[in-house]
Structure 1
């Protein structure tokens, strides 16, 4: 299904905002009055399942700074919510092809992703870079799906090892199906209540997970939400920890003896190794930038993609920009523009783009 509307009073010489729906994915396109001939495809981050959506689709906070600098900005809300990386890749490409018909004279296109959108950016530039001159992943969850799911599983089994005997959460702990059914607020409160029962264990867990103690409950609840969503999308547990040796949890011998062990379901494992895979070899220049004291994308996660790129022999395609701001995705409009300019300066010119056949 496709709907297109133009803001009231818009003319060819005025700023324009178009919006619509492409195969279940709401989208918008903002074109400044003085367009520089370039397009930014903006990939937003994680949106919890069930979160209300504004109609028409609201612009990302970075949109105003980008359009003020002359860029047209297109963004998809994605056809599904949750950890929707695979859908977001398809929906963003479908929108890019549609936008080509709206922007005659387009000569360069960039992909800009925030948080989960970082994985969308990198996967696109690895697998189907034909429409882009480069990309930026800001505060990005730049991990292959299997690596991400393994990290999330570690968080959940560690929490259950230290706090699973309390009564603030369903029996069976964070991996239980009953826990997956909890509303987000109830899940967070149950985790926060459990953490209050053992301050020493909570401090140890915060150190191991590389987050501040006051952010620990939020980080753990997010990890639980995302892993259960991956389980649902994959049709089973996508990773396992049989035979894994953990460290950094105090008495490591006791932890490895007592921690819960789970098997990966082979079909689910193929999901995280397929649609959610990353190789570290983008085919276009890409810049990565993170924030200081980010409780969501912590240092161990930030290091993953540069390591992949080095092993793939693609480090020359990667710029790792200095950390700025605070928290998760704490970028000003000026910082977003500066990150984009760093990639624009390294990209090679290309001929004008033409519309490709629509995705089916």
Structure 2
């Protein structure tokens, strides 16, 4: 295994002459699952149009049958998936896999492709977007400048982080890494949604909410902050939704409970502030429509927590674009946990908050910790 890793790195770093084909893609995805090593290999493969299904035949490969050995192209994913499904169906017609032997597809005027290469084509389609997104995340961090950001403490604790070092580290992170949260594991590739103006998915919400829960713990290391798993908000099945809520890390004795509310592609948030006997509702768009919908969600699913709390509407900050609802809800949650006023934020401050939440929730993956980050000139 160590030899395979060394060979894959040597190939992609240029110390060996790379054979830019699907065999190298397989080796790279198996041994070097990071942007720095994998992206040059994946980008060396050319996408081509799909052959017609009429020109395609599922075949059993004879021992000396001529097949493509150095494949440098990929067919569209839907075509490749159909080929693999056809091979699996054909294989079932044999008494055993041993009798089925090697299989593939024969395409008129193009030749014969092995099942192994078809599976690699599918993997190329599945994995390339992850590397592209993480590469774009690193590129976004490299061109960002946060030194002049002015926000109250501790919201300003990442303005002097060495962004170039963070971007470089991102490119070497194994994208198969998972991070533990209080809601379960999150794949590291999900953190790419923090970049630019991407819409934050529930994985990003989990990471930050788990981080906020860690900020207030009792002597037994139990969080004094409860939270509802953001996944509940996007589950349509009612029984499953109630199950996710019921398994969330919260107790009626929590000082506060953070509740993300998902409303047709829009994030809002509610905090049950038990210490002050209030339920604070925040809609970044500041519309009666979303505010009323959030209140309906509270009554329907969290009446046992909110029945004795006074509803209070949080009026700031206000969302000025289509995708900043997630960062603003997380800012609202953090300010409530820290007992500070929620500041108004400009567009450039939103970009900083996105990076800050990525950095603070990295759990040592990108940089060791915010305390060890170095300053930029």
- TM-score, normalised on structure 2? 0.28
Structure number with higher helix proportion: 2
Greater RCO structure (CA 8 Å; 6+ sep): 1
- TM-score, normalised on structure 1? 0.29
